[in-house]
Every structure is written in C-alpha cells, then in structure tokens.
Chain A
Amino acid sequence: MSDSILQIRDLRVTFSTQMGELRAVRGVDVDVAPGEILGVVGESGSGKSVSFLAAMGLLPQSATITGSVKLDGIELIGAKKKAIRSVRGRSLAMVFQDPLSALNPVHRVGDQIVEMIQSHQDMNTHDAEKRAVELLEIVGIPQPNDRARQYPHEFSGGMRQRVVIAMAIANNPKVLIADEPTTALDVTVQAQILEVIQRVQQTFGTAVVLITHDLGVIARVADSVNVMYAGRNVESGPVQSIFDHPSHPYTRGLLSSLPHEGADRLQPIAGFPPNMLAPPSGCGFAPRCEFAIDACNAELPTLQPFDDLQTSCIRAVDLRIGGRS
C-alpha cells in the first residue's frame, strides 16, 4: 500500500546472546494508514515491541536489524544517525509501557517536555514552557501550570502516563507508537489513557500504533489489527473483520481465550510459544495448532489476501467459518 504513513517490509531483528542467535523478529510487514489506530497484538515474546523499537532505532547494539522501515517515504533502516535522530521525537514518537520509570526522576516534568520541543523546534524557552503547559492540558492534567513545575514522583501512574503522552505529541508527530501504554496501570486508569490516545488521534490526525497483548484494548479503540506470533505476522485486517471472522487458528485461539457472552469457560491455547533460538522452519504456530498438517511445517507461510483480511494460514480456506467459532 503506497498510502501508508509508516511502512515496514520484511523487518528482521536478531540478538546475539550467549546461547546463540535469538531471532526475535523474522520478517514482519506492517502498514499504518495516516490517522488510523493500528492495534498490534500478540503475546510476550512475539516480537511486537521489538519490531517497533527497531523502527525507532532504540534497540541495543547487540541487535542486528535488516529490512525496510519507511516513514512518509523516508527509509530509516541504515539511515545516518543524525537523520534518524531528527525523525525520532519529531515525526515518530513513542509512549512506553512503564510510566513510573520512563520519566527522568531528577528533572521537572515541564522541563522534560520543553527539552522535547526544543530539540526539534527553534523555539525560545518561554514559548516552549507555555507550549508544555498547553500539552499537559490537552492530555487532561488539571492545573497544568503548577504541575509542570513538579517532579515525576509527585504524579500518580496514570498522570505520569499522560505526561509521557504529552511529551510524545509535543512536536505533532505523524505516527505515535504506544508500547503497552496501559499494561502497568489500574483498570479504571487504563480506560482514561486510551481515551487520551483516541483524543490525540482525532484532534491532530496522528496515526497511532497501539502495541498490546490485550484484545479488549484493541476492540475498544483500534481501526485495524495486526496479529503477531513468533516473530511473524499471522493475520491483519480491519478490526471488525478480525473479531467477526478470524481466519487464523491462533487469532481464533486468542479470541476464545477472552471472556465473552455465551462462553461457559475460557479456553486457553494449549502449549507454549516456540524457542526463538531455534524457531520452527514452517508456520510458527503449527506445533500448537489442532488443524496443522504436514504442509504447515514445510515452509514459512507468508501473508496472503483472504476475504478482506491478510492471513498466513495456508488452511484458511479449509477452515473458513463464519463468525466466532
């Protein structure tokens, strides 16, 4: 799709560890349309966070990254450090999982936002401070004027996450990557943070990548979904279609492990994710899949169009079922 604002193609990330090569991401494609909220879902270790940290250039040196990440047509993988730096924080910004540790404890909240503004915009400190207060107000922090002068430890977890969001949107980024932004928070606060993210998307037309393992979060705010498993895409498409008629057994497994009306009990997916030091040569999910056939283990499946979805399951047609199974 050429109209994507963020386009990831065949992204691969390998960590060299003492136990060998850990292939965390093994060829991932992602397309983010301008102004949409894309939910990226998968369990821990599926490579969802690593993919986007790689896109941001935030992985440690031990990571080898190949493939292509294009932001608004500009290639980021292999680009000069300075070029990446000017993108990072300006057109591509990030919100992290743990708001308690994401802010530097020794600097005032306002100053940390000012730092973000001034590193990308030619603005004097007075104006930048005013802008910081505005941003705090946008993300719903009461008395932003006073709060800007406080330190992170004087904020609650939810409030800190709002600060992190305010900081991330300070330069009107085109894409905002939110890596499990609600996981570390209380359930009631989670909903508020999601609202803030939605409001940002609606007000500024910012595209949002919402990384989560929580399908409930996806259902609430996402426009489209990208499901990952064992460092690969397994399925992607509009949120309605994924929830309505998932094509991949893994997605179905995820959905049936959610509490929903009419289900007597939750059905967890049997087995464990594969060892990424020696990932399977075929479909990563095949060892746990009740529908697996020999062909599943033969070669790595790629995303193929299927109805209005993209799926990596080679048996999608055989298994076609309408609605929830």
Chain B
Amino acid sequence: MFRFALRRSAWAIPTLLLVTFLVYIALRMGTDPLASYMRSNPRATHTKIEQYKKLNGLGSNYVTGYFSWLKNFVTFNWPRSIKGSREVWPELKDAIANSARLGIAATAVGVSVGLGIGIFAALRPGGKRDVAVNTVAFVGISVPPYISAILLQLVFAVYWSKWFGNSLFPTSGVYPPGQDGFDLVLMIKHMALPTVVVAIQVIAVYSRYMRSSLLDVLNSDYMRTARSKGLSEFRILMRHGVRNALIPVITIAALDIGAIVGGLIITENIFDYPGTGKYFLSAFGNGDFPLLMPLMVIIVASVLLFNLLADISYAVLDPRIRLD
C-alpha cells in the first residue's frame, strides 16, 4: 500500500516538470512577457530589463530559459509582477486561501447533496423522485456557472433589495468595503451565492454518477446475499451498497478537480471575489508572466495531487486493486 503510494508520487514529479515546461512555453509564446513588460514599464533601464529577463528565465533558448526560471522558482527568488512591481507570493497566497475556502465549501455542499440525492434517486429507479432528481441534474449541467451566477445576482442584487429593502446575500467581494479583520457571519453571507453557483455544478455531476454507480451495485449478487442475512435495509444500503458504489465515483472525482477550479474561476470573476480566478484573469489580461507562472505551477500540482489522492483512495476502497 505504502509502496504503491510512493511509486505513484514518484511519477508525479517528472509529470509536473514536463507540464510546467509546456505551460512555460505556451505562456512565453502567448503573452510575450518581454513586450508586456515594456508596455507597462516604458522607461525601464537596460539593467532593469536584463534583470527581469534573467529572473524569469526569458533567454532566447526555451530549455535553458525554463531551467533558469525553475532555479529561481524553487529557491524562492521570485520576480516581481510586471504591473506595479508587486511581490507575487503575498498576493497569490491570499488568492489561494480565498479560493480554497470557496472551493472547499462548495465541494462539501455539492458532494454531500449530490451523493445524497443520487442515492435517493437510485432507490426507486424510474420512480417520481428519480425523474425529479434526473431533471434537476440535467438542468444543473445545462446551466453554465456564469448564467446561474448572473441570475442569482439579478435576483439578490437587484430585486431582493428592491422588494425587501435589505440585501440578504451580497453579490461581491468577501467583506463589505471598509471592513477590516475577520467576521464569520459577513464572510458566510458573502460566500453564500458563489458557493451555491459552484455547488450546483458539483451536485448535478455527482448525483448522476452516484445514481448510476449505485444502480449497478444494487443489482449485484452480493446485495442479495446481504439481504439474505437479515440485515436492516439501512445497513445493507450503506455498508454494501453505497460503500461499493463510491469506488467508481471516487475515480471520476479526481478528474473533476479541473472542472471545479474552472467553475471557481468563472464564479469568482462574476462575484468580484478575490480568489485565484480574479488573480488569473487580471494577470492574464496584462500578460503578467511573473504572476501567472507560480499560479500555473500550483494548478498543475493540485491537479496531479488530486489524481494521486484518487488513485490511493481507490486502492484503499477496493481491495482487488491493491497491487504491490
């Protein structure tokens, strides 16, 4: 088990290097970091430009350039942002923390509700509640996050305050302007709508996965064996049904991390939520190479990490594939 995890993690590092190399090339070609720098700092001196090129690994050769960027990256000798010459890490750190909070909240809500209604639907396939859950899931996957976000904003930003005279759920930011320090209630209020938007996607996807996976399991012979033991319906469902149905759902979950991050980026942008989504779009718009690269590394690393976690939890859940 441990060796399995170790071998899998060993693979992740070369993959990470390869993918970040590709991202490096794509960003260099796509955003033209040098031109962006000159655009934002038209009066930069020759030494400044040389320093910028050196720190970002912008030599003429992509391979050596990548490695000199990598060396600066891992030694934490990060270049400053093109626009405003800001330090990257404090900004990135805040953005990640905000996004993680939103992502975790939305995933927690989405996965628990999604799995719950998926189970609920699978218990009576073809029944009324199955049809209802199916329809809801379809509407969920058919409504892109920016549309549900816009519609929620329309309701809460415009009409709720018009009709009820107060704003129940604010539609932008983490805190109202001028708020300093931590306030849980305000934070939850601000997070409510973006959480719902991301959670809708998660619910739609997971309820369908869970439903079909559980239906497969419910038709299997060992479910009949479990019933022949005289166990309670609940125990049969949880210990033999849901427990087994989770195995395929977990593997799909890893691939979904990308979709969730994608949903976050869109949602954050609409709700003016200061997370990685806003960070990415503004950095991308400015062609800000020093801001973009670390974010990309973190995105690629988290995708790989979740893949790894899924592989491992798959092996934990299913004894048949514990190969050492």
Tell which of B243, B317, B319 touches A151, judged by Cβ atoms closer than 8 Å. B319
**A105 contact from B224, B232, B244, Cβ within 8 A:** B244
Interface code A95-111, partner B: CB below 8 Å = 1, 0 otherwise?
01010011111110000
Whether A94 and B221, one on each chain, are in contact in the complex, defined by CB atoms closer than 8 angstroms, is: no
Q: Which residue of B lies closest to A164 (CB)?
A: B225
* Alpha-carbon gap, A86 to B229, bound state (A): 9
Q: How far is A93 from B225 in the complex, measured between Cα atoms in Å?
A: 10
What are 11 contact pairs spanning A and B, CB under 8 A? Answer: A56-B228, A93-B228, A96-B224, A102-B224, A104-B226, A105-B244, A106-B243, A106-B318, A115-B239, A119-B231, A151-B320
> Known contacts A104-B240, A153-B320; is A85 also within 8 Å of B221 by CB?
no
Q: Is A120 in the interface zone, CB < 8 Å from B?
A: yes
Decide yes or no whether A158 CB sits under 8 A from chain B. no
Interface residues of A (CB under 8 A from B): 56, 58, 84-90, 93-94, 96, 98, 101-107, 115-116, 119-120, 151, 153, 164, 167
Does B227 lie within 8 Å of A88, measured CB to CB?
yes
Complex CA gap A223/B247 in Å reads 46
Which A residue's beta carbon lies closest to that of B124? A61
Enumerate chain A residues within 8 angstroms of B226, measured Cβ to Cβ: 104
CA distance A115 to B228 in the complex (A): 12
Q: Which residues on the A side are within 8 Å of B230 (C-beta)?
A: 84-90, 119-120
Report the nearest A residue to B229, measured CB to CB.
A89
- Interface of B (DSSP majority class): helix
How many chain B residues touch A (Cβ–Cβ < 8 Å)?
Answer: 22
Closest to A82 in B: B232
Other 9 A-B pairs with CB < 8 A, given A89-B228, A96-B221, A106-B247: A56-B228, A58-B227, A85-B230, A88-B228, A101-B222, A102-B221, A103-B222, A153-B320, A167-B229
- Decide if B229 touches A115 in the complex (CB within 8 Å): yes
Residues of A within 8 A of B222 (CB): 101-105
Give chain A residues whose Cβ lies under 8 Å from the Cβ of B225.
96, 102-104, 164, 167
Q: Is B51 located at the chain interface by the 8 A CB criterion?
A: no
Is B135 at the interface (CB under 8 A from chain A)? no
Once the chains bind, are B320 and A58 in contact (CB under 8 Å)?
no
User: Which chain B residues lie closer than 8 Å to A116 at the CB level?
Assistant: 229
